[in-house]
Amino acid sequence: MCTSEYKNCEYVFNWEIENFSFCWQKKCEEFYSPVFSAESIENTSWRLHLTPKREDGYVSYYLYRLSKETGPPEIEIYCDLIFLNANKSVLREECNFKSICPKGTLFGFHEFIAKNDLILPHDTLTVRCKLRSCEKTTNVVEQFARTVIRVDQKSVDWNISEFRKIKPDEKKSISIKLTSAEDLLSLDLFLSVGEYTEKIVLVSISSSLKSIKFVTVKLLLKDTEGNTVECGQKEFYSSEVKNFKFIPLTFVRNKLLRKTDLYLKDDQLSLCCVCSFTKGIAYHGVERIICGNFPNRDENTTILSDIVTEEKNTGCVKDVKSLYNDLALSDMTLCTETKSYPAHIAILCARSPVFKAMFSSDMKESIRRKVDILDLNDDTVQRMLLYMYTDTLENLQWESALSLYKAADKYNIVSLRNQCVSFIESHLSPINVCEALELADRHQDEDFKSILQNYIVNNQGEVLDLKEWKLFVKSNSELAAESLLKICMED
């Protein structure tokens, strides 16, 4: 390992936790990082401990020295403990405190940060620990670990007929099967009991969970045009399966009855149930290590991000990117079904005429300072935002390019759409050209369609013999005929 070449080192351990809000540990249960070693600090080994969901509303943060290691019985260390969000902004830090650490010692902060202060726009928390045996060091060994909490999602439409006729003691029910292991949720909608004329609409949840550890249920009210608005949410643990959880919806019965044409066409109430859940960890481990002498290192960023920033970002682009990394001045939120992304109206309007029209009118998004983007996934929205702020595309792949093209066309971000087209064109193959052609036709992009049909003309011998083409002919007969006609005309 590279630490053997360096003395007087500061060890920086970065632990990135994706989907942090789905940590299933509760009360005093701890969540552990991968183990990291500090060879030049007496060959000691360490681990970070969190208690993510204590009932008092705080997150605890501790550094733990392993009991079974080769180091001395006691060692004196200096330590910094830091929380960062996905944009590397500091959420909380305790720096340069000194401690005597015997083996098996756990030390840190019982109330490190309030959960309400954990501003995690991408639901990713970076936990950083800086460890050294003296106050000043000349070398740095930086280790990067990542834990990905697997989050699956199931969306089910819940159409409740004869809503006007529901009596206070009557229930409308739906059962949702989350996995093949028969993890079930049962939802019952009913009206509040009492003498009030404004009847509150309630939903109770009971569950039978075997493999699932933690669940979030979000309810969306759908209008006759297909628009949705969140009307209730609840989260709970698998250990609470026997308890009924109640969600009071944000609308009352009389309000819906006053807007029958919008919400109760044919006396049917339409809800969408979005269930997000975790069965545990998808990935957990140390990914890379960087060693060296970095005397001018920025304290709020990792070594690697410093190098990338210096090489790729200059002038105004760097200044605009700083807005993307600094959420303090954000004045708008983009919301997918599972995550929220703070943004700046000025940037959105400058890059997208669709956003500009939206925020220049009295549309609900302008008033609420919130845009619901339920037809795009989290990765696509994050990539779109990064491009709007920085003009960069990172680690683009075929599927992400297709999804990003849809987003760019929806919000009329012309330069982004062109870059996606260029990427797709450079990665065309006889197998995937039909998928791209269907996308171009659906978005009525004639220039893009022409590129793809020319590819089919030039590679007709390979394309027309594949099963992908035969399936394409069955599902897109008119578009296939149009492409074949182009082949005949070229011949």
Per-residue tokens: 438:
């269907």
Residue 312 has pLDDT above 70, yes or no: no
Looking at residue 405, what DSSP letter applies? H
Q: Are 434 and 455 in contact (CB under 8 A)?
A: no
C-alpha distance from residue 482 to each of 259, 453, 485, 489, 490 (Å): 46, 9, 5, 11, 13
Buried-state track 147-183, b at ≥16 Cβ within 10 A, e below 16: bebebeeeebebebeebeebeeeeebebebebeeeeb
What single DSSP character describes residue 35? P
**Each residue of 85-127: pLDDT tens digit?**
877 788 999 998 888 999 999 889 999 999 888 888 788 999 9
Q: pLDDT band at 303, cuts 50/70/90?
A: very low
150 or 2, greater pLDDT: 150
* pLDDT the model gives residue 298: 44
Nearest to 98 by CA among 69, 74, 133: 133
Decide if 249 contacts 201 (C-beta within 8 A): yes
Residue type, 49: H
pLDDT number for residue 386: 87
What percentage of the chain exceeds 70 in pLDDT? 86
Q: pLDDT (tens digit, 9 = 90+) per residue, 334-363?
A: 888 888 888 888 888 888 989 888 887 766
Query: Other C-beta atoms within 10 Å of 239: how many?
Result: 12
Q: What is the mean pLDDT of the chain?
A: 83
Find the DSSP H helices in 326-430: 345-351, 353-359, 364-368, 378-390, 398-410, 414-426
d(Cα 261, Cα 219) in Å, to the nearest integer? 21
pTM for this structure? 0.59
